[in-house]
Chains A and B, each alone.
Chain A
């Protein structure tokens, strides 16, 4: 197993399968679907060994490291830790479900459709397993293209507007991040040459390895600027209030499969970016500016829920519920204690499963009725009992009913936020800047129940308003096959989340430790350390040169 590049295989298998689709002769749409499904199932099966991730030992496993462009210090470095293993599994798990869900609903250009779905899967997996910033960026940008086509070709009426808005929002964030990447890249080079980063780094000063970049030393002010650039890119993707406006458009216009992937995995890319890059790279900036993120997170929770409540379109309702749920994830991650972070990560998985399932369910209804307006429906429980049951279970899991996955995630997140508030209260004594966040966030739970239950009531209960719904078919066997694994996961993660938490716990603790340590280290550096004028602290050493002789490779003006 050691020699087998498992992560590379897992990453590229969908793309290879997608390219194979073009070899299927024209007119054989059935065969195209089967090849796509087989690829996705195989992708899931191949990724199963990753569950052998050793949860006790934190750190990167299944690592692969090959030279790519050594002149620039780019390496093909992949690996997973207790956080990314779950996101990889989520992606490969949703792969076959999405394809099976889109089985009949694509009316034209099947080959391209399934190709883009599979290519998208490769791009997402690549971003989750990358351990080199260049590799990450490649996949991060690549992700846009298949989604651009999925919305733009197979989307609804306003698809061009929606898909361009999606691309442009994301790209503006990414480009600022790219500048910050170049800056970090250069800073690492300067500090490595100056000997600040140890002898190993001095040998290869150009590097974009995550682990190398984590060690770059920056004052809090420099970190704040770079954090801003990274945070913008990730916040657009999450999306955080007020950068979320592309999301409802994209979701409403996207075909069902596109929505499921978008909500299920793509949005996680933003929160994962914070976890992997935004926070560990700039811990001092996080300490200083976390309150902004926290405020935006709770605003997003409540705002998303309130706006979801009044949506007439089921899909838009689910889209806004995403804004709300992603707010929980951001809240959990940024309170920086084990409960909160674990809750946030669990919530990432839960949201992928529950919201993905909700989009699939809305898609099932839309395929049959060609409408998504809530007021067109009523009393569907009488004609589609199984569908109704599934829908209610999924909706309740999304609302966080105990016994379902949503409860565990939300509970841990709120617990983490409460603890954080408790500590903050001891320091500041101000209620609203400590407990306030968890209080506001908790109202989001109530609101979540309100909009979902209200939608359920209007769609499934009461009298059947239109006679044309009387003949609606209930879930077919294929659709049952789509939802069965999702329901299984909803209850598994709700009733017995221990295996999931166990595998991520050491990683999360090490991660928090890393950020705390980085924060302390940055606090010991003077302002302006790492700025363009003063990349490796010579300025400070010269200023402080009065007396205290500094040995070579010391921390500049810091220690």
Chain B
């Protein structure tokens, strides 16, 4: 019987879950099918509720939980609300709120009910929040499932479109495989903990302690357990060679929800990687060499495959793979500084990527998705501000200073070099030089190519998407230059991880 029941630590999760349930109910009550004459559009209500839920949950974190006195773990260590998890919850919530803003106009144009979609985003978000707070393999697994299943549904949201269904099914099948592999790893580690550690527990900390204490004589099955868990997480972060699902899912899934999964799922996976394998454990399990190869392979595959894509969504999928590779370099380097770098990078990647997707959503219009490079042609001259946001997003993802993406790379590779990963850093930066060639393609299409077709449909002003673009652009410009103002938070978050 757990003695420590601190529900107050879970308030953000409960708020998100509560708003998800409310959204579902409201959607049913308010005729989710669409507005009737003389009625308020129910989609506005569910959107407002979802966004407010995310914002309240996010605001609660710095306002209350960050500086809370007293215990930070609850339910016998199943749930840990340390600063590390709080940081990632913020990132995930920001990603979710921005994607919700994006999804609205997109759903409206397709005459889709928005309640279900919004609720799915919220459920997935709560799953991610439990995942990053997991102090225990069971919580971790439950969070993973709560995250994954709504995301599969979101991928298959357009159930009458083959592409979307394919994306959903592919993600589901491969995701289920990865989950099973990970679960098998948990089982092995649990067995090891029971046999060697003495106490059969699913908690992560005792397990890590046992593994570290017996670093000299780890049996093969314990190493194998670690390897299988790692593979499951590498699948979620879409590291090569476990990346095959990413481009297909990104291509088929609805645009705004691709934005959501590309940033939130990746940030969550990075957080769990750090939580489970942070510090010297990776080397103890003998997995550092493998992660080196995976990181290198991921950066090469991501950056080179992105070069040959015609579809912007596929290009962004490969780009997200490449960024996963950079994050893995930080995980591999493993020092406190490198871990802080991973946090920084997750933030930088989130704002850059959401900005890029926001532009794509903005430029999509009735019957005309902005998906291929040719769909973007010539639009920059007509919509210079929107094009400007795309330029900022691409330059930040490329790593042009003084945008936030550059500082993300700066802090990760600074730490990697300090840990002796000079070769990997050279590879990383050379592949990121390659990335210029494809990140500049949307910019070229927007500004340097003539418009296709005789006339461009006028794209109506969309305030919500514009708000999202404004916020992310501001973040891209300011987060890097004013890094000093929050670097302290990052190091205190990482400190929680160490002890």
Q: How far is the CB of A28 from chain B (nearest CB, A)?
A: 16
* Binary per-residue interface labels of chain B (383-418) against chain A in the complex, 1 for a CB within 8 Å, 0 otherwise: 010000000000100001110001000110110111
Write 12 A-B pairs (CB below 8 A) sorted by A numbering: A69-B484, A148-B440, A152-B444, A153-B447, A160-B448, A164-B437, A164-B440, A171-B433, A171-B436, A179-B422, A183-B417, A185-B414
How long is the Cα–Cα vector from A179 to B422 in the complex, in angstroms? Answer: 8
* Binary per-residue interface labels of chain A (98-127) against chain B in the complex, 1 for a CB within 8 Å, 0 otherwise: 000000000001001000000000000000
Q: How far is the CB of A208 from chain B (nearest CB, A)?
A: 10
How long is the Cα–Cα vector from A247 to B66 in the complex, in angstroms? Answer: 54
Query: Does chain A have a CB within 8 A of B483?
Result: yes
How long is the Cα–Cα vector from A178 to B430 in the complex, in angstroms? Answer: 10
How long is the Cα–Cα vector from A138 to B487 in the complex, in angstroms? Answer: 19
Query: How many residues on chain A are close to B (CB under 8 Å)?
Result: 36
B437 contacts across to A, CB distance below 8 A: 164, 168
| Contact indicator B417/A179 (Cβ below 8 Å) | yes
A175 contacts across to B, CB distance below 8 A: 429-430, 432-433
B381 contacts across to A, CB distance below 8 A: 109
| Contact indicator A71/B433 (Cβ below 8 Å) | no
Cβ contact of B418, chosen from A67, A137, A189, cutoff 8 A: A189
Residues of A at the B interface (CB closer than 8 Å) are 67-72, 109, 112, 137-138, 141-142, 144-145, 148-149, 152-153, 159-160, 164, 167-168, 171-172, 174-176, 178-179, 182-183, 185-186, 189, 532
| Contact indicator A186/B414 (Cβ below 8 Å) | yes
Cβ contact of A532, chosen from B410, B420, B426, cutoff 8 A: B420
Q: List the count of A-B residue pairs having beta carbons below 8 Å apart.
A: 83
6 extra A-B contacts, CB within 8 A, seeds A152-B444, A167-B436: A145-B400, A149-B447, A160-B448, A164-B444, A172-B430, A176-B430
On whether A159 and B418 interact (CB within 8 A), knowing A69-B487, A145-B395, A168-B433, the answer reads no
| Contact indicator A70/B414 (Cβ below 8 Å) | no
B364 contacts across to A, CB distance below 8 A: none
How long is the Cα–Cα vector from A152 to B436 in the complex, in angstroms? Answer: 14
| Contact indicator B429/A71 (Cβ below 8 Å) | no
How long is the Cα–Cα vector from A72 to B344 in the complex, in angstroms? Answer: 14
Q: How far is the CB of A221 from chain B (nearest CB, A)?
A: 15
Q: How far is the CB of A39 from chain B (nearest CB, A)?
A: 20
| Contact indicator B426/A71 (Cβ below 8 Å) | no
Query: Does chain A have a CB within 8 A of B425?
Result: yes
B444 contacts across to A, CB distance below 8 A: 152, 160, 164
How long is the Cα–Cα vector from A68 to B487 in the complex, in angstroms? Answer: 12
How long is the Cα–Cα vector from A144 to B417 in the complex, in angstroms? Answer: 26
Cβ contact of A159, chosen from B400, B420, B429, B448, cutoff 8 A: B448
On whether A183 and B447 interact (CB within 8 A), knowing A70-B484, A138-B401, A175-B429, the answer reads no
| Contact indicator B436/A153 (Cβ below 8 Å) | no
B429 contacts across to A, CB distance below 8 A: 175-176, 178-179
| Contact indicator A532/B422 (Cβ below 8 Å) | yes
Q: How far is the CB of A73 from chain B (nearest CB, A)?
A: 10
How long is the Cα–Cα vector from A160 to B430 in the complex, in angstroms? Answer: 22
Q: How far is the CB of A109 from chain B (nearest CB, A)?
A: 7
Nearest-CB residue, chain B, relative to A149: B447
| Contact indicator B430/A72 (Cβ below 8 Å) | no
Nearest-CB residue, chain A, relative to B425: A179
Nearest-CB residue, chain A, relative to B414: A182
| Contact indicator B426/A137 (Cβ below 8 Å) | no
| Contact indicator A72/B414 (Cβ below 8 Å) | yes
On whether A68 and B484 interact (CB within 8 A), knowing A152-B444, A168-B437, A171-B436, the answer reads yes
| Contact indicator A186/B430 (Cβ below 8 Å) | no
A164 contacts across to B, CB distance below 8 A: 437, 440, 444
B416 contacts across to A, CB distance below 8 A: 182
| Contact indicator A71/B484 (Cβ below 8 Å) | yes
B430 contacts across to A, CB distance below 8 A: 172, 175-176
In B432-452, the 8 Å CB interface with A consists of: 432-433, 436-437, 440, 444, 447-448
A171 contacts across to B, CB distance below 8 A: 433, 436
